[in-house]
Amino acid sequence: MSRLQAEHLYKVFGRRPEDAVHRLEAGADRDELRAEGTTAAVIDASFTVEPGQIFVVMGLSGSGKSTLLRMLNGLLEPTAGRVLFDGDDITHLNPRKLREVRSKKISMVFQHFALFPHRSVLENAAYGLEVQGVAKEERLRRATEALELCGLKGWEKSWPDELSGGMQQRVGLARALATDADLLLMDESFSALDPLIRRDMQDQLLELQKTLKKTIVFITHDLNEAMRLGDQIAVMRDGRIVQTGTGEDILVRPANDYVRRFVEDVDRTRVLTAGSIMEKVAADTEFSDDEGSSCSAETPVAELFAALAEGTTEISVTDDDGDLIGVVGHEQLFSALADEARIDETADETHTDKAGAEAAPTAGVQAAVPAPRETVKAVKSDA
Ligand SMILES: Nc1ncnc2c1ncn2[C@@H]1O[C@H](COP(=O)(O)OP(=O)(O)OP(=O)(O)O)[C@@H](O)[C@H]1O
Ligand SMILES: [Mg+2]
């Protein structure tokens, strides 16, 4: 079982880091330590990622995301706490065993994937296996398979500079997948791509994940990306994880004002699901799927608009066995949007430059066009 667990991880840079941990445990904050020239990059981070899950770490620049990730693969030694993966305590392995775990069980995918310009796409994809000492024939076979998984069949003999940025990033992903590592650590892996290609890559990752079921930690400061990819999302602020939950948890039940402001520009119709807004029906309600539309509890609200606009009065929500569990009609849809409008109204009290309250009910529909970068900027300039 390739479960990843972080237990009370701390990373402090600067003088007397252990002392700093004791002070943080006693309630000191990052600013106090910084005044003395010590940086508390990660403070008391704990979480579990189950096999097959994508765990997204989200936060503004400097919040400690990359430092956290580097502790997960043993590149950085935690000042306190430990990391367990697949039964191994990564933080207390001897250097030889750690190297082995790092090369066989863990793969990293970075924002700018440094491909070797004078090696073919295939050789680039096989690089991780070369490092592991896998024989040439086998590594080329596995790299070929990985390239195919990433939609690059036919490009094996090309040179990196013949590929677009998005394709190069796919080679990076293929390199990580070829090693067969159970744990994928992805640091802003799609952030350098333009929005359409980025969406493609997100889709591809979700598609691959259905069959590969890796344990993935994905870092991003793009909220919409976090919401699309994350089974669980951890929001970091100033070194601490301030909330962990599903996208819907974070959106509907933000732990504090910081998280609420952070998520206020997210397109809620893509995160809220039919199951969360439906009107429940009694367990034994008769249901025939012959007419009208049906969807699952996980279907995003955004995908219900078209059917309702075309005249369907009610969409049936069914469980995995096909049994009716609820319905969504105009009333449920509008109430969900009205809730959103109320949230937006409160937000407008602090952000007067936004659309007024009357415009708010349609905001969710318009927001269906993703605007990831603006979202981040808005939060950044406020912070
Ligand atoms: N090697 C280091 N020595 C000293 N301070 C460091 C070191 N690495 C990171 N830091 C500090 O730790 C804090 C967290 O940095 P980190 O790189 O983890 O942030 P991040 O969330 O990944 O940011 P970004 O989104 O910009 O990549 C920052 O204040 C940074 O200056
Ligand atoms: Mg970083």
SS (H, E, C) 318-347: ECCCCCEEEEEEHHHHHHHHHHHHHHHHHH
With contact defined as beta carbons under 8 Å apart, do 221 and 59 qualify?
yes
pLDDT of res. 233: 96
Rounded distance between C-alpha atoms, residue 231 and residue 223, angstroms: 13
With H, G, I as helix, E, B as strand and everything else as coil, classify residue 83. Answer: strand
How much distance in Å is there from the Cα of 187 to the middle of ligand 2? 7
Q: Has residue 354 got a pLDDT over 80? A: no
Q: Where does the pLDDT of residue 141 fall: very low under 50, low under 70, confident under 90, or very high at 90 and above?
A: very high
Please tell me the residue having the least CA distance from ligand 1 atom 2: 13
Write the pLDDT tens digit of every residue in 206-248.
988 988 899 999 999 888 899 999 999 999 999 999 999 999 8
Q: Which of 131-140, 307-316, 350-359 has the lowest mean pLDDT?
A: 350-359
CA–CA distance, 284 with 288 (Å, rounded to integer)? 12
* CB 217 within 8 Å of CB 187: no
- In the reported structure, the alpha carbon of residue 347 is separated from the centroid of ligand 1 by a whole-number distance in angstroms of 30
Q: What does each C-alpha distance from 279 to 55, 106, 267, 276, 334 come to in angstroms?
A: 30, 44, 22, 9, 13
The predicted-structure confidence for 148-203, as pLDDT tens digits, reads as follows 988 899 999 999 999 988 889 889 889 988 888 899 999 998 887 788 888 888 99
Q: Helix, strand, or coil here: 81?
A: strand
The strand pairing partners of 293, in sequence order, are: 315
Q: Which amino acid is present at 194?
A: D
**191 Cβ inside 6 Å of ligand 1:** no
Measured from the alpha carbon of residue 62, the closest ligand is: 1
Output the residue whose Cα is nearest ligand 1's atom 16: 64
- Mean of pLDDT values over 279-298: 76
Q: Is residue 272 a contact partner of residue 282, using CB atoms and an 8 Å limit? A: no
pLDDT reading at 77 higher than 80: yes
pLDDT grade for 347, boundaries at 50, 70 and 90: very low
Confidence of residue 1 (pLDDT cuts 50, 70, 90): low
pLDDT of residue 373 exceeding 70, the answer is no
pLDDT confidence of residue 150: 85
pLDDT at residue 81 tops 90? yes
Residues 6+ apart with CB under 8 A from 218: 54, 55, 56, 57, 186, 189, 226, 229, 230
pLDDT digits (tens, 9 = 90+) for 90-113: 888 898 998 888 888 998 887 776
**pLDDT over 50 at 359, yes or no:** no
DSSP-based three-state secondary structure for 49: strand
Confidence of residue 377 (pLDDT cuts 50, 70, 90): very low
Confidence band for 2, pLDDT divided at 50, 70 and 90: confident
**Among candidates 341, 335, 290, 334, which has minimal Cα distance to 316?**
290
CA of 313 to the centre of ligand 2 (A): 47
pTM, two decimals, is: 0.80
